[in-house]
Amino acid sequence: QVQLVESGGGVVQPGKSLRLSCAASGFTFETYSMHWARQAPGKGLEWMAVISYDGTNKHYADSVKGRFTISRDNSNNTVYLQMTSLTTEDTAVYYCARGGLVVVTARGNWFDPWGQGTLVTVSS
């Protein structure tokens, strides 16, 4: 079955960097867009970034543009989120999610399924 497993979360100091990974299985990874989203404690969902199936198109939320970088390795069925200049406002559960099949726009790029999430805590 389709499965997404995030890793790489933990406690990090403000200003530091962290890289999250999301290992995918059960589907043809290189044909799907992949998203990252997050949820701060007790808050709602916030989309972070998307990468197209072939890695050529990327989009970011304004809140992380210039600080976070999404990438993928289709040979290893993994998508990454490199996070730099972290602040306490970045504390959240980070989820990866599968997007649409061979799409590069937002249309048709709903999130299904989602991984279980990995917690990132930014604290001194």
CB 97 within 8 A of CB 114: yes
| Total residues belonging to the chain | 124
Q: Which of 45, 85, 87, 101 binds another protein (CB under 8 A)?
A: 45
**Contact call for residues 49 and 28 (beta carbons, < 8 A):** no
The C-alpha angle 95, 100, 101, rounded to 5 degrees, equals 130
Which position among 28, 31, 116, 123 is part of the footprint of another protein (CB under 8 A)? 116
Which residues 4-43 are close enough to bind another protein by CB under 8 A?
Answer: 35
Does residue 94 belong to the site contacting another protein (CB under 8 A)?
no
**Residue with smaller CB distance to another protein, 55 or 117:** 117
Binding-site ranges for another protein (CB under 8 A): 35, 44-47, 50, 59-62, 95, 105-117
